[in-house]
A and B are shown apart, each in its own frame.
Chain A
Amino acid sequence: MSAPRPADMDMSPAKKSIWRNLSFVWLVPIAALAVTLFIAWQSWAARGSLIEIRFTNAAGITAEETVVRYRDVSVGLVEKVSFAPDMESVVVSARIDQNVAANLPPDAKFWVVRPEVSARGISGLSTVLSGVYIEASFDPSPGAEAWSFDGVDKAPLVAAGVEGTRLMIRAADGSSLSPGSPIFYRGIEVGRIETPRLLDSGEGVVVEGFVEAPHDRRINSATRFWDTSGFSVTLGAGGLDLSVDSLASLVTGGIAFDTVFSGGSMIDDDQVFDLFESEKAARESVFSDVIDNAVKLTVEFDESVSGLSAGSPVQYRGLRVGVVSAIGAFIEDTPDGQKVKLRATVSIDPQSLGLEKDVRPAETLAFLSDAVKGGLRAQLAAKSIFTNTLVIDLVDVEDAPPATLGIFNGEFPVLPSIESNLPDVSATAEGLLQRVNDLPVEEVMDQAISLMASIEAVAAAEGTRSAPDALLGLIEDARGLIGSDDTKAIPGELRDTVAELRSTIAGLTQVTEDLQTADAVGQLVAALNAAETAAEDFSGLSAELSEAGAEVPALIDDLRALTTKANSLEVEQLVSSAASFLEGADRLIDSDDTRALPAALTGALQEAQAALAQLRAGGLVENANATLASASDAARAVATAVESLPALSGRLEALVRQAEGTLAGYGNESSFNRETVAALREVREAAAAVSKLARAIERSPNSLLFGR
């Protein structure tokens, strides 16, 4: 066996270039690299964005475990749970899928789903085992990409994106309104309510409700809500009436609504509905006849409108002229910050105001505008004392600060309002009771008792028992005084005096008339002249004159005696009054000559007695004599009467003093005594008055004549 010879070398050609030598197998790592890079890029690109959600607490949330779900699909994972810088809240950082994050609007709601057991059922049971998760609710808005959110405590009433209408419902209390209670329309659940919350004023609760489309079309301004929770039992003539709504509403409460009259208008965004306690009340609340051609106004109130509801009447001087169609709240920016005002929308019936039925609204508004300028204002008023139901009163205020009907674009005109003077019945009653309570009733009673005791003591005393007798005597005395002849005679004497004086005046008048008619002065002057002439002529007849002069002293004596008699009457004042009376008579005569008469007369009488006698003019003197005599009689009669007057007053005085003396024994403090003394003082005053009258008559008897 030969050694194997080497084979012929099969020389390979020159080495090919590395590229030409490249095997197709290299495509494999390239493909692997490409696929890996693609996967890496894809997973990085789909990594999601980090968002922050702030919660008050992070109960149950665990980093890297708690997921974020949207429509029950996991869309993210919590990466980190940390505190906000101010430690006031917990910031949950979660990585959300990119496609979801791109659609997150800033108002997206996040809440933690926990197991919950309520009357409505059990929810979130799956979280018992799996732990809590964060549920998101939002209305996808592409391109929003918000990344910071405030978490909410509870699941929102309505999932985002559900069509419907949100409403505010006002109720007196929230006991029958539990969160999530259903809203029924003709027994069909069409919505839910949220958690009731107290009004800032504490005078009621408001609850937000949501009615899903398309049922929200049923709601307009004619809609009324009422409470259907619980059951009602009415025992009446018709028998026992038991009304129970659905069992669910019996447990959780619920409200129902219906449109109770036709012709309601679209509701405003800030419309607040009232919750009536029963369907009956809701239906009765409606102003049954809907106003034709109504003019709508708004009235703003600063004060609480608790008690005012849609359907409350609007009155003008007690006449119903309209109805409150809606009540809403709005926020007004004031220098002191934002302020919530309440605004009632009222429908005014032009017909009630006396306008034509088909009047144009502009005319009604013009009429109202004038009325407002004249002081028309809206005011809240209580419907009755015992309820807090309110009405809106249109009142005319006299001194109202000037205001006008505020007409703004797009809104109803604003009728100015004034503050109401609603009586706070409870406060008033309380104040009254407080005042009654403050009365010193017990002290008064004590004093009354002690007064009674002292009266009893006084009555029991000996002196008091004899008092009636003394009084009787006093009265008897007084009666005797009044019944005495003297007293009775006073008027008669006075009458006589008056009559005599009257006749005196008549006499004097007669004299003056005689003097007048006879031209006595002229005759006297002439007579005097004649006497002078006669004296000169008959100077020789001095003997005769002497004789006559012998007769004159007698006449003078007579006159003097008369004067003395008059003087002795001691009624100088009367005389002077008589003189003034005579002066009055003089003025009546109104003649200087006549005024000079007495002096002239006296002189004439003195000087020409004889001559006159001789001239047989004695009739005149006799007349004068007679006059003077009657005057003297009259004066005397007056004097007599007057003399008895002081005696009368004196007796009265004495009587009073006696009575006073009698009573002085009864002790000074007794009111009985005081009253008796007062009575006696009055009697004395009467006596004093009588004596004053007497003195007045004494002083000026002519007052009797002239009635002064």
Chain B
Amino acid sequence: MEDTRTAPPVLTARAAGLIGCTQCGRVQEPGAERCVRCQSLLRSRDEASLQKVWAWLFAGLVVYVPANVYPMLRTSSLGKTSDSTILGGVVDLIHHGSIGIALIVFFASIMIPVGKFLAIGYLALSIRRQVSLSDHRRHVLYEVVEFVGRWSMIDVFVVAILATLVQLDFAASIKPGIAAVSFALSVAFTMISAQSFDPRLIWDASEGDPA
């Protein structure tokens, strides 16, 4: 595969004045304001894309703080109530010897969200700045982020299922804590943030044609 950097410039649709409809995918004639097929507004690039990315990323970061500080689960067992945060739960699991589960929880609840924050931030920054990672790799990174994002919700699903099933009154009961909501929001916000990212910007930058 030839190096993209050294590859001769290709004529892009944008360079050709063509605009693809983001809704139905029909290629429009240059100068068209609206899609001839679905009448949606046509824009070559979303100028606010980066703003949206940053905004949602910040929102996701903000709600990620309480998600880690506040308890995720409130477990009542035989009159004893215990609160457990995400990290506390991981530590508890390690104490109980379930290192595998602890690793899964740690990976799904800590590593993935944090990695997403970093990746999205990196991608957003890379649009305006020169970075060492090639455009292609950045695109792969973007695809990975978008794919993995939904799996972070595994924690929220576990909490939701436990809170629904384990309602044995006095013997045991589990209630979701504030962190569960925060964590779900954080995951949702980062997913929106990733969706807001227009990967075409990656290529635009390499063509020296800033949006």
Contact = CB atoms under 8 A, between A and B. Distances in A.
B51 A32 contact: no
Interface residues of B, number: 31
A448 interface: no
Nearest to B29: A7
Q: Which of B58, B59, B182 has the most CB of A within 10 A?
A: B59
Interface string A23-58: 101101101110110011001000000000000000
B194 interface: no
Contact of A25 (B31, B55, B61): B55
A31 B63 CA distance: 10
Main secondary structure of the interface of B (DSSP, over half): helix
A29 B55 contact: yes
Interface stretch (B9-17, B122-130, B161-169): B9-17
Contacts of A131: 79-80
A29 B54 CA distance: 9
B178 interface: yes
Contacts of B16: 4, 6-7
A39 B178 contact: yes
A356 to B, nearest CB: 74
Interface in B38-87: 47-48, 51-52, 55-59, 61-63, 65-66, 70, 78-81
A32 B184 CA distance: 13
Given A32-B185, A36-B182, A130-B78, A8 B17 contact: yes
Nearest to B196: A25
B79 A36 contact: no
B52 to A, nearest CB: 5
A74 to B, nearest CB: 8
Given A23-B51, A25-B51, A40 B66 contact: yes
B42 to A, nearest CB: 12
Contacts of B178: 39, 43
A517 interface: no
Contact of A23 (B48, B63, B78): B48
Given A23-B51, A28-B56, A33-B62, A4 B78 contact: no
A21 interface: yes
A36 B55 contact: no
Contacts of A43: 70, 178
Contact of B47 (A21, A25, A39): A21
B79 A7 contact: no
A1 interface: no
A706 to B, nearest CB: 128
A39 B56 CA distance: 20
Contacts of A36: 62-63, 65-66, 182
Given A21-B47, A33-B62, A36-B182, A28 B80 contact: no
Contacts of B25: none
A87 interface: no
B170 to A, nearest CB: 8
A234 B107 CA distance: 85
A304 to B, nearest CB: 51
A639 to B, nearest CB: 139
Nearest to B58: A29
B18 to A, nearest CB: 8
Contacts of B80: 65, 130-131
A22 interface: yes
Contacts of A7: 15-18, 30
A126 interface: yes
A25 B59 CA distance: 10
Main secondary structure of the interface of A (DSSP, over half): helix
Nearest to A126: B79
A126 B171 CA distance: 12
A129 interface: yes
Contact of A29 (B18, B62, B196): B62
Contacts of A8: 17, 30
B189 interface: yes
A28 B186 CA distance: 12
A146 B80 CA distance: 27
A4 B55 CA distance: 39
Contacts of B30: 7-8
A43 B179 CA distance: 13
Interface string B115-158: 00000000000000000000000000000000000000000000
A404 B120 CA distance: 100
Nearest to A12: B47
Given A22-B51, A23-B52, A39-B66, A32 B189 contact: yes
A43 B15 CA distance: 55
B175 to A, nearest CB: 14
Contacts of A28: 55-56, 59, 189
A32 B59 contact: yes
A34 to B, nearest CB: 9
Given A29-B57, A131-B80, 17 more contacts: A4-B11, A6-B15, A8-B30, A10-B31, A21-B47, A21-B48, A23-B52, A28-B59, A29-B58, A29-B62, A31-B59, A35-B63, A36-B66, A39-B66, A40-B66, A43-B70, A129-B78
Pairs of residues from A and B, 10 with the lowest C-beta to C-beta distance, nearest first = A7-B17, A130-B79, A29-B59, A29-B58, A32-B59, A23-B48, A25-B55, A23-B51, A32-B62, A28-B59
Interface of A: 4, 6-8, 10, 21-23, 25-26, 28-29, 31-33, 35-36, 39-40, 43, 65, 67, 126-127, 129-131
Interface of B: 11, 15-18, 30-31, 47-48, 51-52, 55-59, 61-63, 65-66, 70, 78-81, 178, 182, 185, 189, 196
9 contacts: A4-B16, A6-B16, A7-B15, A8-B30, A25-B51, A28-B56, A29-B59, A32-B58, A40-B66
